[in-house]
Amino acid sequence: MKVIYEKSPMLKDAPLSYCPGCTHGIIHKLVAESIHELGAGGRAIGVSPVGCAVLAYNFFNCDMVQAPHGRAPALATGMARVHPGHVIFTYQGDGDLAAIGTAETIHAACRGENIVVIFVNNAIYGMTGGQMAPTTIAGQTTQTSPYGRDVVSAGHPVRVCEMLATQEGTTYAERVAVHSVPHIRKAKKAIKKAFEYQTQGRGFSIVELLSTCPTNWGLSPVESLAWVEENMIPQYPLGVFKDKYAGEVAR
Amino acid sequence: MQRLLMKGNEAIAEAAIKAGCRHFFGYPITPQNEVCAYMSRRMPQVEGVFLQAESEIAAISMVLGASAAGARAMTSSSSPGISLKTEGLSYIAGSDLPALIVNVQRGGPGLGTIQPAQSDYNQATKAPGHGDLRLLVFAPSTVQEMVDCVFETFDLTEKYRMPGMLLCDGLLGQMMEPVIFPEVEVTPSEKPWALTGHGDKRQPNIITSLNLDPELSQSANLARFERYAEIEKTQARAESLMTEDADIVVVAYGACARIARSAVSAARAEGIKAGMLRPITVWPFPTQQILAAGKSAKALLAVEMSMGQMVHDVRTAVQFKKPVHFFGRTGGVVPTPNEVLEQLKIIDGGLKA
CATH architecture type of domain B238-352: 3-Layer(aba) Sandwich (3.40)
The per-residue pLDDT for B120 is: 98
> What is the rounded CA–CA span in Å between residue B112 and residue B125?
21
Q: What is the largest CA-CA distance in chain A?
A: 61
Overall residue count recorded for chain A in this entry: 251
CB A64 within 8 A of CB A48: yes
Beta bridge partners of A119: A92, A208
Residues of A in contact with B55 (CB under 8 A): 103
Nearest-5° Cα angle at A164, A86 to A172: 45
Long-range contacts of B219-228 (CB under 8 A, 24+ apart): B220/B94, B221/B132, B224/B93, B224/B96, B224/B132, B224/B133, B224/B134, B224/B162, B225/B132, B227/B160, B227/B161, B227/B162, B228/B134
Residues in B whose CB is inside 8 Å of some CB of A read: 23, 25, 49, 51, 53-55, 57-59, 61-71, 73, 87-88, 91, 95, 195-201, 204-210
Minimal CA separation from B228 to chain A, in Å:
24
CB-closest option in B23, B55, B199 to A81: B23
Q: Is residue A126 part of a domain?
A: yes
Which run of H or E residues covers position A33?
Answer: helix A24-37
B23/A68 Cβ within 8 A: no
Indicate left, alpha or beta for B331 from its phi (over 0: left) and psi (-120 to 50: alpha). left
Q: For chain B, where are the alpha helices, taking DSSP H only?
A: 8-18, 33-42, 56-68, 79-94, 121-125, 143-160, 170-174, 214-234, 254-269, 287-293, 311-317, 337-352
Residue A139 phi, psi dihedral angles, 5° rounding: 90, -10
Residues of chain B within CATH 3.40.50.970 domain(s) are: 4-198+206-234
pLDDT over 70 percentage in chain A? 99
Q: In what order do the strands lie in the sheet with B248-251?
A: B238-241, B274-279, B248-251, B299-304, B324-328
> What is the rounded CA–CA span in Å between residue A50 and residue A23?
17
Binned at pLDDT 50, 70 and 90, residue A17 comes out as very high
Q: Reply yes or no on whether the pLDDT at A251 is more than 80.
A: no
Break chain B down into helix, strand, coil percent, rounded to 5.
40, 20, 35
- Fold for the domain defined by B4-198+206-234: Rossmann fold (3.40.50)
Indicate left, alpha or beta for B2 from its phi (over 0: left) and psi (-120 to 50: alpha). beta
Please give the radius of gyration of chain A, using alpha carbons only, rounded to the nearest integer.
17
The per-residue pLDDT for B183 is: 87
> What is the rounded CA–CA span in Å between residue B22 and residue A73?
20
Helix, coil or strand: residue A126: coil
The per-residue pLDDT for B192 is: 98
**Boundaries of domain holding A212:** 24-243
Minimal CA separation from A39 to chain B, in Å:
10
Q: Per the structure, how many domains does chain A have?
A: 1
CA A180, A182, A183, A184 dihedral sign is: positive
**How many CB atoms sit inside 10 A of residue B330's CB?**
17
User: Which of A17, A65, A89, A100 to mutate to test binding with chain B, by most B CBs within 10 Å of its CB?
Assistant: A65
Query: Which of these, B72, B84, B74, B98, lies nearest to B29 by C-alpha position?
Result: B84
The per-residue pLDDT for A248 is: 82
Q: Reply yes or no on whether the pLDDT at A241 is more than 70.
A: yes
Name the DSSP letter for residue B45: G
The complex scores an ipTM of 0.97
CB A89 within 8 A of CB A80: no
Q: Which residues make Cβ contacts (< 8 Å) with residue A56, sequence separation at least 6? A: A28, A46, A48, A49, A64, A91
CB B150 within 8 A of CB B12: yes
Q: Reply yes or no on whether the pLDDT at A73 is more than 80.
A: yes
> What is the rounded CA–CA span in Å between residue B350 and residue B353?
5
Minimal CA separation from B130 to chain A, in Å:
12
Query: Which of these, B23, B268, B236, lies nearest to B136 by C-alpha position?
Result: B236
Break chain A down into helix, strand, coil percent, rounded to 5.
40, 20, 40
Sequence letter at residue B105: Q
Give the tens place of pLDDT for each residue, A145-190. 999 999 999 999 999 999 999 999 999 999 999 999 999 999 999 9
Query: Which of these, A210, A134, A233, A41, lies nearest to B202 by C-alpha position?
Result: A41
The per-residue pLDDT for A1 is: 86
CB B117 within 8 A of CB B106: yes
The reply to whether the predicted model has a pTM over 0.80 is yes
Encode chain B (353 residues) as per-residue pLDDT tens digits. Answer: 799 999 999 999 999 999 999 999 999 999 999 999 999 999 999 999 999 999 999 999 999 999 999 999 999 999 999 999 999 999 999 999 999 999 999 999 999 999 999 999 999 999 999 999 999 999 999 999 999 999 999 999 999 999 999 999 999 999 999 999 998 888 878 999 999 999 999 999 999 999 999 999 999 999 999 999 999 999 999 999 999 999 999 999 999 999 999 999 999 999 999 999 999 999 999 999 999 999 999 999 999 999 999 999 999 999 999 999 999 999 999 999 999 999 999 999 999 88
Q: Is residue A250 part of a domain?
A: no
> What is the rounded CA–CA span in Å between residue B136 and residue A18?
39
A60/B208 Cβ within 8 A: no
CB A198 within 8 A of CB A35: no
The per-residue pLDDT for B184 is: 86
Average pLDDT, chain A: 97
Q: Is residue A4 part of a domain?
A: no
User: Which of A10, A36, A45 to mutate to test binding with chain B, by most B CBs within 10 Å of its CB?
Assistant: A45
The per-residue pLDDT for A249 is: 61
Residues of A in contact with B61 (CB under 8 A): 67-68, 71, 74-75, 78, 104
Residues of A in contact with B73 (CB under 8 A): 78
The per-residue pLDDT for A247 is: 84
Binned at pLDDT 50, 70 and 90, residue A250 comes out as low
Could you tell me how far CA B311 lies from the centroid of its own chain?
A: 17
Nearest-5° Cα angle at B210, B208 to B214: 145
Residue of B nearest to A72 (CA): B61
Q: Is residue A133 part of a domain?
A: yes
Q: Is residue A10 part of a domain?
A: no
Give the tens place of pLDDT for each residue, B79-101. 999 999 999 999 999 999 999 99
Q: Which residues make Cβ contacts (< 8 Å) with residue A51, sequence separation at least 6? A: A69, A92, A93, A95, A96, A125, A126, A127
Residues of chain B within CATH 3.40.50.920 domain(s) are: 238-352
CB A165 within 8 A of CB A173: yes
CB B327 within 8 A of CB B303: yes
Q: What is the DSSP string of A160-200?
A: HHHHHHTSTTEEEEEEEE-SSHHHHHHHHHHHHHHHHHHHT
B234 burial type by CB count under 10 A (0-12 exposed, 13-18 middle, 19+ buried): exposed
Residue B276 phi, psi dihedral angles, 5° rounding: -140, 140
